[in-house]
Amino acid sequence: FSTEVIATSPYTDQKPGTSGLRKKVRVFMQDNYTENFVQAIFTAMPAPGPKDSVVVVGGDGRYYMKHVIQKIIKIGLANGVKKFIVGQDGILSTPAASNIIRKAQANGGILLTASHNPGGIDNDFGIKYNTSNGGPAPESVTDSIFEASKVISEYKITDIPDIDFNKIGSVHFGDHTIEIIDSISDYLDMVKEIFDFNLIKSFLKAHPDFTLLFDGLNGVTGGYGRRIFIEELGLPLSSIDQCVPMEDFGGEHPDPNLTYAHKLVKNVNEKKIDFGAASDGDGDRNMIISNDWFVNPSDSVAVIADYAKHAIPYFKKTGIRGLARSMPTSASIDRVAEYHKVKVYEVPTGWKFFGNLMDAGQLSICGEESFGTGSDHVREKDGLWAVIAWLNILAYVNSNSQSFISIKDIMETHYDKYGRNFFSRYDYEEVDSNGANKMYSDLKAKCYGGLVGTSFLNGAFTVISAEDFEYTDPIDHSVSKNQGLRIIFSDGSRIIVRLSGTGSSGATVRFYFEMFENRTEKLMIDTQVALKPLIEIALEISKLKEYTGRDEPTVIT
């Protein structure tokens, strides 16, 4: 093939956020916008750079993905990439891509996804670069990509014809290869290694009345869900819903929470489902619910960590090397860590911050309150992994029990043993950016201007610390500043305020509330009732309504 050099001029807004570059599709459609960013990735690719490299490419199936994959291949070959590994039809869930990068010992991967954001021509698209460990590029790399995008003057592209991604097999151009692989089989092999599928199968057999419903929210996990729950575990077809990936996710937010996964919530309640689960557009998030319980993600990771080395074959082998959570995630997992005498780390929001600890062998299981749960089996959070982990645990606890132990029973036992960290997150989406920024900077000024020592609600809550969270990576000692305002009270309760780094228009303000309880009679009360005082304090100090005009959150977790 021949290579052309095309002159271009930079865009100023290609700074990757919490998880890659996310913008409206029409932004990516501007002249050379996508080409510039893709070239910037290859320019900034960590040593030894793109020449002779192996790069994995795939995405969540959203609108514009296939077009961008063709571009990536053409620009990549021109930059010297030796081999591209692409999922069939361009499909790879985010954790599946992470697995393939690791398994193929690729130099990196380019993931086409805007995760849980809606898809379609008027919605979102995203491009994310992952490094050779399979994880999202650290800030040092995303900063170099951004720098390259600001000074770009040309990009290189080859003149090869479009590739047919539908056909599994290899296409060669000289000594360059494009390999189209089955999107699912490597992932399936991996989870079968990790979990006790036989135990799960005997549990299902022993409990013929047990009902499971997995909702793919029309996202990338549809095919994976079908292979795992129907073909492998032999569940009836009624156990999966919305499991055909769609370019616009059926016009919905493919986000597994109580607001956007409303169809699952309704089904679970109406059909009295024992085990309901959903994953997001790109397959890295998960929600676990039952007809009588919603498992808060902060608790979910704590429960998985608590049972892992007894119930899950992978951890029986590796043991628990350490646990971790993102800063706003509740300290539920901290209590499990203390009990099992392992270390627990608190990192900023975003999965990229777990990678170094995992690579150093210091971290086995971790989670984020934003429906992200995972382990060191890959370097992304993994929605289906969490769903199968829960199923594995359920099978384990029921294996020596006369009567059926439900998800709610597991949670009740957990709270009895460890106490309960009540947790809730309020999202105020698509708020005016100026108002949100002003609210944030004024609250920050308050944090550093005498908030410490202030008491609220007749002395019930006294602030003992208030700061903008800053993190020093224990492995490479890199420092990440401005990671969210964290206000801690004398009883350990916390209020956290952040501005989202994944939105594509306006600002999203996130408030996080946490309070610990260990009085038996209070353990099973309603979360919103338990947290009411803290929520009132947060709205009072932040003056959110005055700055943004918002009274009610758009999403409550």
What is the torsion angle, in degrees rounded to the nearest 10, for the CA atoms of residue 337, residue 398, residue 369 and residue 373? 80
Task: Assign 235 to helix, strand or coil.
Answer: coil
**CA 324 – CA 108 distance, rounded (Å):** 25
- Tell me whether residue 117 or residue 242 sits nearer to ligand VG1 (CB atom): 117
Please identify which residue in 372, 374, 435, 553 interacts with ligand VG1, judged by CB under 6 A.
372
**CA 41 – CA 426 distance, rounded (Å):** 34
Q: How far is the CB of 217 from Co ion (least distance, A)?
A: 11
Which partner from the list Co ion, ligand VG1, none does 370 bind, CB cut-off 5 to 8 Å by kind? ligand VG1
- Tell me whether residue 285 or residue 420 sits nearer to Co ion (CB atom): 285
As annotated, the active-site residues are 115
**CA 352 – CA 342 distance, rounded (Å):** 22
Which partner from the list Co ion, ligand VG1, none does 351 bind, CB cut-off 5 to 8 Å by kind? ligand VG1
User: How, if at all, do strands 507-517 and 154-158 pair?
Assistant: unpaired
Left (φ > 0), alpha (ψ -120 to 50) or beta: where does 251 sit? left
> Token digits for 354?
């777990």
Q: Which helix (H) or strand (E) holds 277?
A: strand 275-279
Contact region with ligand VG1 (CB under 6 A), list: 216-224, 267-275, 358-366, 495-503: 495-503
Please identify which residue in 350, 367, 374, 435 interacts with ligand VG1, judged by CB under 6 A.
350
Q: How far is the CB of 272 from Co ion (least distance, A)?
A: 29
151, with CB counted inside 10 A (0-12, 13-18, 19+), is exposed
Distances (CA, A) of 473 to 138, 345, 423, 466: 11, 10, 26, 21
- Using CB under 6 A as the binding rule, whether residue 355 contacts ligand VG1 is answered as no
Q: How far is the CB of 278 from ligand VG1 (least distance, A)?
A: 12
Of residues 51, 52, 28, 27, the one with CA closest to residue 38: 28
Please identify which residue in 74, 227, 253, 285 interacts with ligand VG1, judged by CB under 6 A.
285
- Using CB under 6 A as the binding rule, whether residue 19 contacts ligand VG1 is answered as yes
Q: How far is the CB of 366 from ligand VG1 (least distance, A)?
A: 11
Which partner from the list ligand VG1, Co ion, none does 483 bind, CB cut-off 5 to 8 Å by kind? none
- Tell me whether residue 120 or residue 501 sits nearer to ligand VG1 (CB atom): 501
**CA 85 – CA 78 distance, rounded (Å):** 16
- Using CB under 6 A as the binding rule, whether residue 125 contacts ligand VG1 is answered as no
Q: How far is the CB of 282 from ligand VG1 (least distance, A)?
A: 6
Contact region with Co ion (CB under 5 A), list: 273-281, 437-445, 477-485, 498-506: 273-281
Residue where the block lists tokens 């009895």:
416
Contact region with ligand VG1 (CB under 6 A), list: 218-226, 297-305, 346-354, 433-441: 346-354
Please identify which residue in 280, 306, 334, 376 interacts with Co ion, judged by CB under 5 A.
280
> Token digits for 254?
């493919």
Task: Assign 89 to helix, strand or coil.
Answer: strand
Q: How far is the CB of 41 from ligand VG1 (least distance, A)?
A: 18
Q: Which helix (H) or strand (E) holds 447?
A: helix 433-447
- Tell me whether residue 73 or residue 384 sits nearer to ligand VG1 (CB atom): 384
Identity at 96, one-letter amino acid code: A
Contact region with ligand VG1 (CB under 6 A), list: 27-35, 96-104, 348-356, 531-539: 348-356
Q: What end-to-end distance do the CA atoms of the chain give, in Å?
A: 52
- Using CB under 6 A as the binding rule, whether residue 483 contacts ligand VG1 is answered as no
Please identify which residue in 239, 370, 373, 548 interacts with ligand VG1, judged by CB under 6 A.
370
Cis (ω within 30 of 0) for the bond into 95?
Answer: no
- Tell me whether residue 115 or residue 424 sits nearer to ligand VG1 (CB atom): 115
Which partner from the list Co ion, ligand VG1, none does 349 bind, CB cut-off 5 to 8 Å by kind? ligand VG1
Of residues 503, 504, 474, 478, the one with CA closest to residue 139: 478
Q: How far is the CB of 153 from ligand VG1 (least distance, A)?
A: 31
Q: How far is the CB of 383 from ligand VG1 (least distance, A)?
A: 8
361: Cβ contacts below 8 Å, ≥ 6 apart: 321
Q: How far is the CB of 500 from ligand VG1 (least distance, A)?
A: 3
Contact 247, 63 (CB under 8 A): yes
Of residues 108, 116, 69, the one with CA closest to residue 90: 69
**CA 312 – CA 300 distance, rounded (Å):** 15
Q: 114 to 133, contacts with Co ion by CB under 5 A?
A: 115
Q: How many residues bind Co ion (CB under 5 A)?
A: 5
Q: 86 to 115, contacts with Co ion by CB under 5 A?
A: 115
Length of the chain: 557
Which partner from the list Co ion, ligand VG1, none does 74 bind, CB cut-off 5 to 8 Å by kind? none
Contact 147, 44 (CB under 8 A): yes
- Tell me whether residue 281 or residue 322 sits nearer to Co ion (CB atom): 281
**CA 99 – CA 135 distance, rounded (Å):** 9
Contact region with ligand VG1 (CB under 6 A), list: 53-61, 366-374, 448-456, 545-553: 366-374
Please identify which residue in 142, 502, 504, 542 interacts with ligand VG1, judged by CB under 6 A.
502
* Binding footprint of Co ion on the chain (CB under 5 A): 115, 280, 282, 284-285
Interface residues with ligand VG1 (CB under 6 A) are 18-19, 115-116, 280, 284-285, 326, 349-351, 368, 370, 372, 500-502, 510
